[in-house]
Amino acid sequence: MRLLSLLYGTGSVPRTLITGGLGQLGRGLAKALRGKYGQENVILSDIIKCPDATVKPYEYVDVLDMKQLDTVVVTHEIDRVVHFSALLSAVAEKNVPRALQVNATGFQNIVEVCARHNLMLFCPSTIGAFGPTSPRHPTPDLTIQRPTTIYGVTKVYMELLGEYYHHKFGVNFRSLRFPGVISADTKPGGGTTDYAVHIFHAAKDTGHYKCFLREDTMLPMMYLPDTIRSAVEVMDVPEEKLKLRVYNVTAMSFTPAQLLEEMKPYYPNLTVEYESDSRQQIADTWPEVFDDSGARNDWGWSHGYDLPKLVRTMVTRIDPDNPHLRTL
C-alpha cells in the first residue's frame, strides 16, 4: 500500500476507467486490476450495451462524446483512465475517416478530460508507430518514426500529444508500445500479427492454415498475460523512475516458419501455405526486433513467456485434448 499512497494519497485506492474495454486487452486488464484493487474500483466501458453481468461495473461510453466522458469520470470518481478504444491496423486501413475519428479525436478528448480532472492516463502504442525508415533490428525507444499506415500515424500522434499534455499541463501520461499480442481467450481484432492466433485454431480444426504473411516475416510478439502485467506495472511505477513517457516492451520475435516449427511436435501433420495480402505490406514496414532495454532498466520489466512456453500454453488452452501434450 505504500506505493499506492505515494501515487494516489494515503489510504486511497485508484478508481480506473477502461475505454474500449471489451476488446482483446480490456477484459484481461480489468480482471487483473480488479483482483488488485477491488471489483468496484474498475469501470469497464465500450460502445455496446453491457454483454453480461461478469463485466460489471460497466458503462456505455463513446470516446467521441466529451460530455459523456466528463459525466462518467465525475460520477464514478475516476483517478485513472486506460484508453484502449482504437481501430487496429488492417481494419483502420479499410476505413480511414473512422480511424481518424476514433484513434485521433477520441484520444484528444480523453487527454483533455484527464487534464481537466487531473487523472493518470495510460494508452498503449504499437510496433506500428514505426515505419520503413526506422531501424528494424533492433528498434530502440527513441528513433525516427514515419509510419505508412493510418493506425501508425494516429499512434504517433497519440504519443506526441500525450507527451505534450504531460509537459504543458502535468498530465501523468504513460504509454507502452506493444508488439503483436497473442491470446487464447479472445478473438483477434483485425491486426497484422493475428496470424499467430489464427494458426492455432486452424491446427486444431482443419490441420491446414493459409497464412497472410510470408514465411520469413519476423515480428515482435508477446503473450497476453505478459502484456497485461506490463500495463499494470508501468501504471504503478513512481514517476521519478520514468525516464520516458513511452517505452517499448516485448518478449520474443519470430517468423511464421519458426512458429510452425515450434508447433510441429504438437501437430506433426499441420500444413501451411503462404499467400500474402495487404497486411504483408504493413508488416514489411514494422520492427523485426524490439529493443525494450529502457523498460527493463528503468522500471524492471521482464517477460515470462518465450516461444516454446507460448506454444505449449496456447495448445493447452485451445486444444486441451491434444494427445502430444502428455508426451512432450
Q: Give the residue numbers annotated as catalytic, written as ranges.
A: 151
Q: Copy the grid coordinates of residue 303.
A: 517477460
Return the H-helix or E-strand segment holding 21. none
Half-sphere exposure of 49 (CA within 13 A, CB side): 1
Name the region of 173 (left: φ>0; alpha: ψ -120 to 50; beta: rest): beta
Residue 132's Cα: distance from chain center in Å? 22
Name the region of 158 (left: φ>0; alpha: ψ -120 to 50; beta: rest): alpha
